[in-house]
Amino acid sequence: MTPFEHTLIRTADPDDADFLLEVYSAGRPRAALLDPRREPVFPSRDELAEMLGSKDAGRNQFFAVEDRAGCVRGFCGLRGVSIEAVFCEVMVLLIHEADHAGPIGRETVQFLLDRAFGRMHLEKVLGTCLDSEPELRALLAGSGFASGGVQRQVLYSGGDWHDIETMTRPRVLPGQGE
């Protein structure tokens, strides 16, 4: 459990399944919820509870983000951690888009960066966002992530084609010393 000024970030557990289902049911696609083939997934509440209770969830380092009043505001995590290649992917799944622009979003990304760079000694993190996630893109860009490229029209969802952008952030930003 990691307390910040505005948030408390803790390991997600099966009791968080209803909140995670809310993220999946938000009505717009999210890059972090796509399967490895970059296709949307629509799990049931029971499937989410089972996933949150599995040992694999701990290995993927999946966390719940609560506000200081104890309300779940979203989820975050590191996945695809490669100690050998010294990188991983960050995922930020905040329930309300407005939270991306405020302290909840900033503290969530800071938590992930501290974990990836400070605890795991990785050299680079990646983040992906769809063109339907401008709030997430702005949050990542404001946290030192730079575009690594855009794949055009890779996801068809809700009657539209969507682009997916990969953003990267090195442990040490250009212009900063070790």
Q: What is the pLDDT of residue 55?
A: 61
Is the domain spanning 2-170 CATH 3.40.630.30? The answer is yes
Positive or negative, the CA dihedral 104, 109, 112, 118 is: negative
Q: Which two tokens stand for residue 121?
A: 């000694």
State CA 162 to chain mean position distance. 18
Positive or negative, the CA dihedral 51, 38, 84, 1 is: negative
Q: Which residues of 142-170 are buried (b: 16+ CB within 10 A; e: fewer)?
A: ebbbeeeeeeeeebeeeeeebebbbbbbb
Give 62's contacts (C-beta < 8 A, 6+ positions apart). 11, 12, 52, 75, 76, 77
Q: Tell me the C-alpha distance between 133 and 145, whole Å.
A: 15
Give pLDDT tens digits for 78-135: 998 887 889 999 999 999 999 999 999 999 999 999 999 999 999 999 999 999 999 9
Domain boundaries defined on the chain: 2-170
Of the listed ranges 16-20, 39-43, 172-176, the one predicted with least confidence: 172-176
Q: What is the pLDDT of residue 42?
A: 87
